[in-house]
Structure 1
Amino acid sequence: MQFRHERVRIETARHEIEGTLQLPQEGFRSRLTDFLNAQGDDFLPLTDATVTWLDGAREPERHEYLALATRHVVLVLELSPAPAPSA
């Protein structure tokens, strides 16, 4: 299956997270909304992620990989296609 990488900004009640989400290139779940709705109570795998606390209580953190529980997602914005990872 072919994949595309999409930069997204996700907001939860306490955090703003910017990262790269891997989506199918085409077909079922290739649109972000379809992908999110199909996840149920699962986790969204994000790579190259930055986590910022909305209350400013902590400095932003950078993580190579982050699994975010979809039940905490309040808002998702598509930012742009992410550059393809190097081999």
Structure 2
Amino acid sequence: MQCRLGCGACCIAPSISSKIPGMVQGKPAGVRCVQLDDNNLCKLFGDPSRPKVCEQFKACPDVCGDTSAQAMFNITELERLT
């Protein structure tokens, strides 16, 4: 599965404990990453400073569902459960 351009759920819903440029303490769940642009695209995509956890995330139907709204719900729920 390819990421849906402009979704951004994986950059908003989960907490990220890794250092992110502009967010040196990481990112709390439900907070928009400062590296997410106005089109919900990662400004660090392909940049070596992009956190490994972000680089390793792979979109899949079980997590991302059929819509961006489903992805946000699913990732928020997974965050809540962990």
* Fold shared, TM-score > 0.5 on shorter chain: no
TM superposition score normalised by structure 2: 0.32
